[in-house]
Structure 1
Amino acid sequence: MRVYARELNEHLPSLRRYARALTGSVERGDDLVTRCVEIAVMAPTRFGVPLASAGGLYALLHALFDQDGEGRPDRSQHPIERALARRPEIERRLYLLVALEGLAVAEAAKLVDLTITEATETLTAIREFLRLAMTARVLVVEDNALAAVDLSEMISGMGHVVCGMAATEPEALALANAESPTLAVLDIRLARGGSGISVARMLRDRFAVPVIFVTAYAGDLRLLDEEGLGPVIRKPYTTTAVQDAISQAVFAPLPEMLLH
């Protein structure tokens, strides 16, 4: 069935949103939508996909994306998209269709060739997978014992895991090697003359771990021209400031330098 340009235009915003998520790229996604629209208008029977509804257009996007084998997304900077990319492609598409596009489970299941029961069970598994994937393993580097405990309790209260507490530079480096943190909260001046800035550099360069500084010595970053190492929360800090910074670090796209 021919889908006319006027009807297609109504679907373009959702098609572009979905195609960008499907491919992991604005450029690839927009190219995919362009090809989809051209076929829907000029050769609607080419792929044998019924195009009378938005579901048919999503199916056509899938068919075009899979022309040269199973399509896979580009590597994303966003933590949720990177986590989803670790799942089988059918599961990733099912989640995107339901969570991003708002399709009913029955309709999304049909588009990825699953039964409703299979789709429901899969969505439950993916949501739990994402919950665990978005649980940060946080290294706290702070030589004031009371402040370290306070920060740790805040982090745990958010549902994240404190994988270690260090008061010195050597302790921090040892814990980083042993515990594989995904985020670090650091003071700048540590016990025994240690430097949180040195720890942050190592975490960035060796482990691609983002950092948050909680410190009264932000000026040290300026003196060393390292203000780009991570956000700074000044002491005395508030719970809200720390929690907001952690949430942003967990859910925001990683800086380009941490992806290489």
Structure 2
Amino acid sequence: MSLSQEIAPLLPYLRRYARALSGSQNSGDAYVRACLQALVADQSIIDTSGGTKIGLYRLFHVLWNATVVPPVTNDGTASMFEQTAQQRLATMAPESRQTLLLSTMEGFSIPETARIIDKTEDEVTQLIQDAINEIDRQTKTEVLIIEDEPLISMDLMQIVESLGHGVTSVARTASDAIAAAKSETPGLVLADIQLADGSSGIDAVKEILAEMSVPVIFITSFPERLLTGERPEPTFLITKPFNPNTVKAGISQALFFKGTDAVAA
């Protein structure tokens, strides 16, 4: 199998990582393109001795720190989350955020994460704790959960509340979700895409976002339905079955980019 064939199925997940890291689909995709362009120019720059996936993320990490990607022109449509991203980034060590996302959202082990960012395992553990401590200082909010499976929704409620956030409602259908959001504006939405009555969490989120600005995390068994390479794609996406720490990291990261004026007290 050629290197390009090995890398192709990894790209949707690298885009997910880049978007979560930058807080923007446009910026994240720009960094991934820069990584691929460098790789096309010289395939010897990737070290696959630890596996192609680790090698790809390691290469991306190096280029993330070294490459200046031209910023996307703001045409006035950027969300408030993207507008506040740089302010939030300036207050937190980049390596802490990178390490947190690699070890939770992307599912790398501590040794694998250490290899990717060229740190010791002890350093990785400390960076993760630093990231959690920093993000925990963000303002708490109220969360709308769109999920039709009772056990999963209970797990999500426990995770949300363990972080100090509240739950406005648990909706099992698209219509219930839309009504709940209109009744009490959430500060964050956790959404499945396939709901109890056959309705779509994606459609519910689209209608909610037409009425208000709120970060959304999709939690689904069908990530390929969202990671299509077409626009729009979600900045925050978690695959079922999920690790609770992955959900915690996703919530913290989504709120990290959230405008402070939209966070519920």
- Measured against the shorter chain, the TM-score band is 0.3 to 0.5
Higher relative contact order (CA 8 A, sep 6+): 2
TM-score normalised according to structure 2 size: 0.45
TM-score normalised according to structure 1 size: 0.46
